[in-house]
Amino acid sequence: MPDSDPTAVPPSADGLAAAARSAAPRRGPAPVHLWNPPFCGDLDMRIARDGTWFYLGTPIGRMPLVKLFSSILKREGDRFFLVTPVEKVGITVDDAPFVAVDFAVEGTGRDQRLTFATHVDDTVTAGADHPIRVTRDPVTGEPAPYVMVRGGLEALIDRKSFYRLVELCETHPVAGTEQVGLWSDGTFFPVMPAGELEAAVATS
């Protein structure tokens, strides 16, 4: 865990929001990779698996504020932080910080492009720099699909979108094994071995 500055003022959501408004661009994520402020401690803020943000145990109901906080989100290793030019605070993320709630399809086969939209209005086209991955629950076998958004921050692809993606899956050999997966922007993303998809979808 980073060492906090003992002289720093305790972080607050209001202070972070004010600093973010003055430093972040009007559209899109802030350049958090360029900011290296001192660590100011952890904030009682949590992102639930469904994408809901909580502060002091209460859901943040103002979507513009959620979008503002999401624009200053940064991942370092397995930890997540909200970062401004002057402070850095740790927050809790239950799964992925974003949820992909829809996607658009262009083309077919190897020429297909899948562009995802998140609940905080990020858009990203899956490809070599924005891979899709699918994990499986070791007990139930339920699949959990993700797409990389930026800077190590992923979006959990919601269930309705995953069902649509399943309809676009094709079979392709990967390392000598037939895999069912998805093409996007010239890259094939394996979902799971051929023959297992139907059973996995039934558990999700």
Check if the beta carbon of residue 33 is closer than 8 Å to that of residue 79: no
Tokens coding 111: 């020429």
Q: Which are the contacts of 132, defined by CB distance < 8 A and separation ≥ 6?
A: 114, 126, 145, 146, 147, 148, 157, 182, 184, 189, 191
CB 117 within 8 A of CB 100: yes
How many angstroms separate the Cα of 77 from the Cα of each of 2, 11, 51, 125?
A: 12, 22, 20, 24
Q: What is the mean pLDDT of residues 44-56?
A: 97
| pLDDT tens for each residue of 120-163 | 999 999 999 999 999 988 888 889 999 999 999 999 999 999 99
Q: Is the pLDDT of residue 198 over 70?
A: no
DSSP assignment letter at 130 = B
Q: Identify the residue whose tokens are 């850095």.
A: 88
- The proportion of the chain whose per-residue pLDDT surpasses 70, expressed as a percent, equals 90
Range with the poorest average pLDDT among 102-106, 112-116, 188-192: 188-192
